[in-house]
């Protein structure tokens, strides 16, 4: 039995997921909680946020995030891949900074224009 807190709504339901019986979820107040519990046990994913170096300008770093969630096991590798990236201004909001991070199909995009 795995215990989780649902993060899909402000209620923060305490979920219990039985991994031995086809990921049966209890404790959820809505259907989204059941989906969250199953997904979190079967294939946990995260949206990754970080920053990359700017070579010039008034700001030393540019905030970035993945445009879709990546497998939780790949989060560390995704962040490490950003170490080799340096940007030259101007940078536009939504600009792709790094494509296909760790072969996940997700791209890092800029979350601020600089």
Cis peptide before 90 (omega within 30 of 0): yes
CA distance 72 to 74: 5
CA distance 45 to 39: 8
pLDDT at 21: 77
**H helical segments located in 22-111:** 31-42, 75-81
CA distance 110 to 94: 5
- Max distance between CA atoms of the chain, in angstroms, equals 56
Rounded to two decimals, what is the model's pTM? 0.78
End-to-end CA separation in angstroms for the chain: 47
Distance of CA 35 to the CA centre of its chain: 17
**Which option is the CATH number for 46-110: 3.60.70.12, 3.10.530.10, 3.40.50.2300, 3.40.190.80?**
3.10.530.10
| Percent of the chain's residues with pLDDT above 90 | 57
Q: What is the pLDDT of residues 5-33, one digit of tens each?
A: 988 888 888 989 888 877 888 888 888 88
Domain boundaries, the chain: 2-42, 46-110
Give the pLDDT band of residue 111 (cuts 50, 70, 90): very high
Give the pair of three-digit tokens for residue 45.
Answer: 């994913």
pLDDT at 24: 84
Give the pLDDT band of residue 2 (cuts 50, 70, 90): confident
Judged against a pLDDT cut of 80, whether residue 57 lies above it is answered with no
Continuous segment of H or E residues that includes residue 52: strand 49-54
DSSP 113: -
């Amino acid at each position: 039995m795995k215990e989780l807190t649902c993060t899909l709504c402000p209620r923060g339901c305490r979920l219990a997921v039985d991994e031995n019986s086809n990921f049966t979820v209890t404790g959820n107040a809505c259907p989204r909680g059941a989906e969250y519990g199953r997904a979190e046990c079967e294939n946990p994913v995260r949206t990754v946020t970080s920053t990359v170096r700017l070579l010039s300008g008034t700001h030393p770093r540019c905030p970035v995030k993945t445009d879709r969630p990546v497998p939780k096991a790949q989060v560390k590798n995704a962040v490490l891949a950003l170490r080799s990236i340096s940007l030259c201004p101007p940078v536009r909001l939504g600009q792709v900074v790094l494509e296909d991070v760790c072969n996940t199909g997700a791209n890092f995009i800029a979350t601020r224009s600089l």
